[in-house]
Amino acid sequence: MAVPKRKMSRSNTRHRRAQWRATTPQLVPVVVDGVTHQVPQRLVKAYERGLLRPGG
């Protein structure tokens, strides 16, 4: 595990943390039981196979 050699200032720590941003999931339309739902792209196969239910 990496260990810092010197203490990082509070200003530098907060400046570094402020750069991180989560991205919103890419939504794609999927038809489940004749109804179109917007679901994350990485979960499309799970919805098509019936492993997940939209809105529930």
Domain assignment present for 50: yes
Q: How many domains does the chain have?
A: 1
Please report how many Cα atoms fall inside a 13 Å half-sphere around the Cα of residue 51, on the Cβ side.
6
Half-sphere exposure of 47 (CA within 13 A, CB side): 22
User: How confident is the model at residue 29, as a pLDDT?
Assistant: 94
Q: Answer yes or no: are the C-beta atoms of 10 and 4 closer than 8 Å.
A: no
What is residue 11's predicted lDDT score, i.e. its pLDDT? 93
In a domain, 11, yes or no: no
Residue 6 lies in a domain: no
Domain that holds residue 48: 25-55
**pTM, 2 dp:** 0.55
Residue type, 25: P
Classified as helix, coil or strand, 36 is strand
In terms of residues, how long is the chain?
A: 56
pLDDT digits (tens, 9 = 90+) for 1-52: 889 899 999 999 888 888 888 888 899 999 888 889 999 999 999 988 888 8
Q: Are strands 35-40 and 27-32 parallel, antiparallel or unpaired?
A: antiparallel
